[in-house]
Amino acid sequence: MKEDALIAIEAASQMAERSGLDMAVMQDLSIKPLKAVRGEEVLEIVRCPAALKRDRRDPYMSVH
């Protein structure tokens, strides 16, 4: 189980870097954007490096 948790954290780190979003590793070791977590218990929070954070006003990320 410890190895599974480490793999989940590594995957969350890579997803944070690629997406530009902070990621959450959930109790079941699933990964989702931190902003999508609503009252659920989080095992670990992986922050996106500040240099890679997406601007919330990024026109390419807006949904029409």
Query: First-to-last CA distance in the chain?
Result: 41
Q: What is the pLDDT of residues 17-31, one digit of tens each?
A: 999 999 999 999 999
Judged against a pLDDT cut of 90, whether residue 56 lies above it is answered with no
**What's this model's pTM, rounded to 2 decimal places?**
0.76
In the chain, where the domains are located: 2-52
48 within 8 A of 24, measured Cβ to Cβ: no
When pLDDT is averaged across residues 34-55 and rounded to a whole number, the result is: 88
| 44: Cβ contacts below 8 Å, ≥ 6 apart | 5, 8, 9, 12, 24, 25
